[in-house]
């Protein structure tokens, strides 16, 4: 689930960056944002498969905020379903 969210965010960011580079006419200014690299956890049951992902601090903050919002929505959804399924005296 988290990987899917991160993949969608990465695709959205790359599409936005492509659109910005096309509108700037090819003139790039040097970026002063710091690139931060993090290791992703491998799949459960294996020690292999950890990957390194690099992004700017702003992109990491955006991804973490989106993941937190999705987690909150999922928790709210489960709690609302439980409230409608369980009778008053359970």
Residue 7's pLDDT is 56
pLDDT value at position 45? 86
- Where do the structural domains in the chain lie, given as residue ranges? 36-41+50-84
Q: What is the pLDDT along the chain (90 residues), one digit of tens a residue?
A: 566 556 556 656 665 655 555 555 556 555 578 999 999 888 888 878 889 999 999 999 999 999 999 999 999 998 888 766 666 666
Specify the residue for token string 């960011």.
13
DSSP structure string for 26-57: T-PPPP-PPEEEEEPPPPTT-S----EEEEEH
User: For position 42, what pLDDT does the model report?
Assistant: 84
pLDDT at position 41, please?
Answer: 85
Of 42, 47, 43, 20, nearest to 31 by C-alpha is 20
């Amino acid at each position: 689930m988290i990987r899917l969210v991160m993949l969608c965010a990465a695709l959205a960011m790359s599409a936005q960056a492509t659109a910005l580079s096309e509108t700037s006419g090819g003139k790039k200014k040097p970026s002063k944002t710091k690139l931060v690299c993090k290791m992703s956890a491998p799949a459960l049951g294996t020690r292999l498969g950890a990957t390194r992902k690099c992004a700017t601090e702003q992109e990491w903050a955006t991804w973490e905020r989106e993941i937190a919002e999705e987690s909150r929505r999922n928790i709210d959804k489960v709690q609302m379903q439980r409230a409608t399924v369980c009778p008053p005296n359970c």
